[in-house]
Amino acid sequence: MLSPLRLRTAALLFVICPPFFAQTVQSFRTTADLSDALKQQPSVTFSRRAPVAPLVIEVDDTQRFQTMEGFGISMVEGSTWLLHDRIPPAMSQQIMTRLFDPRQGIGLSFVRLPIGSTDLSRDHYSYDDIPAGQQDPSLAHFSTAHDDASVFPIMREALQLNPAITVMATPWSAPAWMKTSGSMTGGSLREDAMSIFAQYLVRSLESFKKNGIPVKYLSVQNEPLHETEDFPGSLMLADQQTLLIGSYLGPDLRRAGLNTEVLAYDHNWDHPEYPIEILSDPAASQFVAGSALHCYGGDPGAQSVIHQKFPDKGIWMTECSGGTWQKENPLAVTTHLLIDSTRNWAKAVALWGVILDNDHNPHAGGCGTCRGLVTVNLKEQPTTVTYTGDFYALAQASKFAHPGAVRINSSSLGRQSLESVAFQNTDGSIVLLVFNNRPDTTEFDITWSGNSFRTSLPAQSLATYIWPRRREPKT
């Protein structure tokens, strides 16, 4: 039996040095050649030891940043046609489950839904197409019936598989009759059509809602600084977008009783002054949740420039595509996007087309060399399905870091070494992504809360490490 003095001493030591409760760490790995593809590795355990490896990644869940809404794709009409009409129903269901189901699949949870056609559509269309030279200011011919065929059914299936999906809507072009070009391609929105276009967007959101697709966010123009030549698009300068949102669209959304918030810009990193101009305008900014960015120009540090000026507004990475023009491995390309975007405040990361065939189709102008998350080879019988490195990069994040997770601090050692990003889920579990940029298998230590473990990662490979919240001692 312990003496009273020894009991008091033991109690004091318990307070100063609480007992260690070993945390078991699960890990999953994808290698550059996909020989390991989201493959579970043997579990390891944290121990009370100082790290001794020359490379150390420190995770600190006391430093907290943005709340995540998810990882995902754009649900383009060409992809929904492939899923709904061109491949066997059982294969389509299998693909959809693998994409969106949080348990049986990777749980993609952010979907950008076009309003009308894009370059990854089978043809050009809006929701109010009328003969050339005519006008429809009352929107008497407005109809979303075109998308009843495949877009809406596939979207509803995605939402059924994962009700936590956040939907963002975006038009690539206003109807041709509203534009200076009189065409879905090129030109810009006429000044006298602003109020009509705002109503067109509201009608689109209302129709989506009636079709079981609630929209949380809306951008008013995809890539507004790109005046397209052969696919739907419009030039829309920042002052015009500011006026449209502040004077027309924002008030119309409120009058319609819609809770949809606007995302400014929706274009490349290289012009952060564009969303900054909109967010600086009192009339427009009250309707704007933040800024949407693309990856095709500039660098992700632009997101932090915007965040520093407007820390109460969010950042979303809403489009980036892989394609034949890229020299780097697809896994590496998308992993760098994930890490760089989220470390620069992105609340979501969405890639471009979800599924294309082996000839990069369907597309109607624009990108004929884009790469989807999924490739179907329609020339083979039976049809074959391939999941790309982009899919597995997204999977390593979306499967484990869920909507509502908060990004926490982790050390990232640079583009020539180990890069990382970490999140804490709402259940307290911690998710750490590590990518090895080095040319050989690399050993390193991971430390957290005074504990560490040793692991290794092959060259150009991505791993996700997951461990639960710290268990409290029983009283």
Mean pLDDT for 454-458 is 96
CATH number for domain 69-403, candidates 3.30.70.360, 3.20.20.80, 3.20.20.70, 3.40.50.300: 3.20.20.80
Mean pLDDT for 223-234 is 97
Mean pLDDT for 344-363 is 94
Torsions phi, psi of 29, nearest 5? -135, 145
CATH topology match: 20-66+407-467 vs 69-403: no
Residues forming beta bridges with residue 350, ordered by sequence position: 72
Please tell me the distance from the alpha carbon of residue 433 to that of residue 423, in angstroms, as a whole number: 9
- Give the pLDDT confidence score for residue 22 in this predicted structure: 67
- Give the pLDDT confidence score for residue 139 in this predicted structure: 98
On the question of pLDDT at 410 being above 60, the answer is: yes
Q: What is the pLDDT of residues 15-47, one digit of tens each?
A: 444 444 568 999 999 999 999 999 999 999 999
Mean pLDDT for 325-332 is 93
Which residue, among 192, 172, 151, 196, has the nearest Cα to 367 in the 3D structure? 172
Whether the upstream peptide bond of residue 362 has omega within 30° of 0, thus cis, is: yes
- Give the pLDDT confidence score for residue 17 in this predicted structure: 43
Torsions phi, psi of 448, nearest 5? -160, 130
**Residue whose token pair is 């040095």:** 17
- Give the pLDDT confidence score for residue 21 in this predicted structure: 55
User: Do residues 84 and 150 touch, judged by C-beta distance below 8 A?
Assistant: yes
Which residue, among 433, 423, 363, has the nearest Cα to 392 in the 3D structure? 433
Q: Where are the alpha helices (DSSP H) in 310-388?
A: 330-343
Q: What is the pLDDT of residues 155-186, one digit of tens each?
A: 999 999 999 999 999 999 999 999 999 999 99
Query: Which overall architecture, per CATH, does domain 20-66+407-467 show?
Result: Sandwich (2.60)
Q: How confident is the model at residue 9 (pLDDT cuts 50, 70, 90)?
A: very low
Q: What is the pLDDT of residues 242-266, one digit of tens each?
A: 999 999 999 999 999 999 999 999 9
On the question of pLDDT at 5 being above 50, the answer is: no
- Give the pLDDT confidence score for residue 23 in this predicted structure: 87
- Give the pLDDT confidence score for residue 333 in this predicted structure: 97
Domain boundaries, the chain: 20-66+407-467, 69-403
Please tell me the distance from the alpha carbon of residue 8 to that of residue 25, in angstroms, as a whole number: 35
Q: What is the pLDDT of residues 269-317, one digit of tens each?
A: 999 999 999 999 999 999 999 999 999 999 999 999 999 999 999 999 9
- Give the pLDDT confidence score for residue 474 in this predicted structure: 43
**Residue whose token pair is 């078991």:** 24
- Give the pLDDT confidence score for residue 160 in this predicted structure: 98
pTM: 0.93
Whether the upstream peptide bond of residue 4 has omega within 30° of 0, thus cis, is: no
User: Do residues 88 and 385 touch, judged by C-beta distance below 8 A?
Assistant: no
- Chain-centroid distance of CA 60 in Å reads 24
Instruction: Measure the CA angle with vertex 208, ends 204 and 213; round to 5°.
Output: 150
